[in-house]
Amino acid sequence: MYRSPLLLPVTFVVLAAVLLSAVVVLGCAPREPEPEVVVAHEGIPVDQEWAEEVRDVAVEEVPSENANIRSTELSPINSRTVEQLELHWQFDTEDKVTHQPIHDEGIVYFGDWSGHVYAVNAFDGTELWRIQLEDPREEWPWHGIAGTGAVDERYLYQASAEGQVWAIDKRSGEIVWRTRVTANPLAGVLGDLKVHDERLYVGLSSVEPLLHGEVAGIEPGFRGRVTCLDTESGEIEWELPLTEEPHDGATMWSSFSLDPNTNTLYFTTGHNYTGEASVTSDAMFAVDAETGNIRWVTQMTPHDTFTMKEHIGPAYAFAAGPQLFNADIDGQQRALVGAGQKSGAFWALDRVTGRVVWHNIVGYGGLLGGIFGEAGIGPNGIFVWSNNSFAPDVDPEQFGMNVAALDPTSGRPMWHRRNAQPAGLNSGAFLVNDLVLVASLDGHVRGYDSRNGETVWESPAHESIGSNLWVHRDMLLFGSGVPEAFGGTEASGAVYAYKLNE
């Protein structure tokens, strides 16, 4: 049996939209822009007893895989050696790959939009096994395995845009269990899965806003949800609806972070679809990782409703998930959680109270504008990119993205590259030592010196890249294939492994 914790006492700290049309993009002036911020709704403050209880342990180190910081110092790849990266192997798939390749014990796992999941040898790219989990709804804007799975000691976990979750034996490829996590025929999983302490966390979203007005009879009504499953059985332990009737939307389609010191799960939400907007859309959540009980919610953009038929709000969803880091502010170590928004703003919040510590504008928002992937975060900076008013019907080459380095203590830019490379989609930055790697829809990965933002490397051309990048030791991994509807080249998919040729 599962329980829904949304009806328990909850804290909402709601902040208004960043009005990007009225501000200067960072880097055009010596100081950060100061967008208007209006308190739209302030609910019950965070539970002070809990906050005091965890305040000291919150600043303790969080493992990078839980912090979701997308960086490593355990690699020989850096701004000087990156020129030695060469294509080591290429694995062609049945369809597009927006799934980040997962490197685990010498095996690389990934899925594609045809519903296939693959395991290949990390050293030479030879296939170990493949399985098609289901036939996808190919008429949908996204389908099949469009998000990224997770692994633990025994299983590979995958989820589909059609709403099913699987546990798969990592070695044999055999299905261990399967669970349908939604009865809504237009809902499923687009974001990343998170596994921790024998629990699997899954965020649910829907194709309704893109089909509304495009397909007869589609009327939005799905409400976002985060579901926690037992990793051994696949049974649902708890479900957290992210908004309540009469509201809809507020879906979760990015990534999770988890602080084991305070047992807190963090995630972000998208906009509402129709009707009156709720106070939980375009927001960041902090919940008890064991029970799903809400600890706080902070909303960045109120009154945001959007479908392809009804363009009421700016569609400033969070396409990037929360990331955990510490910063020395006024001589005190602060535990922060940050995330980039489609408004073009990167936000840093106190991860115990949910209060905004700082925010800054990296680029201009839009349907596919703003920040569309996680930052690469290291001890000396937050490295993030943002599209500029990009839309599906324009050439990514004509709408360059900005790439910036932000000071973790204040959010002020340490450097900023305007129109650094063509627009991107869903592929977060990755920081490896002093090198910032960023992918684009033009199929190139580019590398920047983290100290000054100078371009130090550009990969050969591939098909459009819409997967996260990953670095494991001397290897760079990513997938390719993005539909034309999202600015891509509509090609079949592949996974690439670059390796240092020392």
CA distance 484 to 464: 10
Question: How far is the C-alpha of 174 from the C-alpha of 184, rounded, in Å?
Answer: 27
Q: What is the pLDDT of residue 376?
A: 98
Residue 17 CB coordination number (10 Å): 24
Whether 164 contacts 135, CB under 8 Å: no
Residue-averaged pLDDT of the chain: 90
Q: What band does 36 get if pLDDT is binned at 50, 70 and 90?
A: very low
pLDDT, residue 292, reads 95
Kindly indicate the confidence band of residue 20, based on its pLDDT and cuts at 50, 70 and 90: very low
pLDDT of 157 strictly over 70: yes
Tell me phi and psi for residue 320, to 5 degrees: -120, 145
Regarding beta strands 294-299 and 12-15, do their DSSP bridges make them parallel or antiparallel, or are they unpaired? parallel
Report the CATH fold assignment for 38-66+181-419: Methanol Dehydrogenase; Chain A (2.140.10)
Q: Is the pLDDT of residue 96 over 60?
A: yes
Tens of pLDDT, residues 277-323: 999 999 999 999 999 999 999 999 999 999 999 999 999 999 999 99
Q: Are 32 and 24 in contact (CB under 8 A)?
A: no
Asked if residues 212 and 233 have their Cβ atoms less than 8 Å apart, the reply is no
* Distance from C-alpha of 450 to C-alpha of 445, rounded to nearest angstrom: 15
Per-residue confidence (pLDDT) for residue 138, from 0 to 100: 87
**pLDDT band of 158, cuts 50, 70, 90:** very high
DSSP string, 293-317: -EEEEEESS-S-BB-SS-B-S----
Taking alpha carbons only, the member of 472, 476, 363 closest to residue 424 is 363
Token pair recorded at residue 202: 């899954």
What is the reported pLDDT for 48? 77
Question: 209 or 8: whose pLDDT is higher?
Answer: 209
More confident residue, 488 or 91: 91
pLDDT at 112: 98
**Band of the pLDDT at 77, cuts 50, 70, 90?**
very high
What pLDDT, on the 0 to 100 scale, is given for residue 366?
Answer: 83
Mean pLDDT of the 395-418 span:
95
Q: How confident is the model at residue 44 (pLDDT cuts 50, 70, 90)?
A: very low
In this structure, are residues 284 and 339 in contact, taking their beta carbons and an 8 Å threshold?
A: yes
pLDDT above 70 (res 342): yes
| pLDDT interval class at 34 (50, 70, 90) | very low
| pLDDT for position 35 | 36
Question: Which residues have a Cβ under 8 Å from the Cβ of 31 and sit 6 or more positions away?
Answer: 412
pLDDT of residue 471: 98
Asked whether the beta carbons of 244 and 275 are under 8 A apart, the reply is no
Q: Tell me what pLDDT residue 139 has.
A: 87
Q: How confident is the model at residue 47 (pLDDT cuts 50, 70, 90)?
A: confident
Predicted local confidence at residue 98, as pLDDT: 97
Report the b/e string of 356-376 with b at 16+ CB within 10 A. Answer: bbbbbbbbbbbbbbbbbbbbb
Lowest mean pLDDT among 90-94, 174-178, 210-214: 210-214
**Average pLDDT of the segment spanning 30-49:** 45
Residue 64 DSSP SS3 = helix
pLDDT the model gives residue 470: 98
Q: pLDDT band for 491, please (50, 70, 90 cuts).
A: confident
Answer yes or no: are the C-beta atoms of 365 and 386 closer than 8 Å.
no
- Residue 351 — pLDDT band, cuts 50, 70, 90? very high
Mean pLDDT of 318-329: 97
pTM above 0.85, yes or no: yes
Percentage of the chain beyond pLDDT 70 is 91
Helix (H) / strand (E) containing 469: none
Instruction: Tell me: pLDDT of 33 over 80.
Output: no
End-to-end CA distance of the chain, in Å?
55
Strands (E), 33-163: 39-42, 71-72, 85-92, 102-104, 107-111, 116-121, 127-132, 150-151, 155-159
- Give residue limits of the domains in the chain: 38-66+181-419, 76-149+426-502
What average pLDDT does range 325-353 have in this prediction? 96
Q: Does the pLDDT of residue 62 top 70, yes or no?
A: yes
Quickly count: other Cβ atoms within 10 Å of residue 16's Cβ.
17
pLDDT of residue 45: 57
Least confident of 101-115, 142-156, 485-499: 485-499
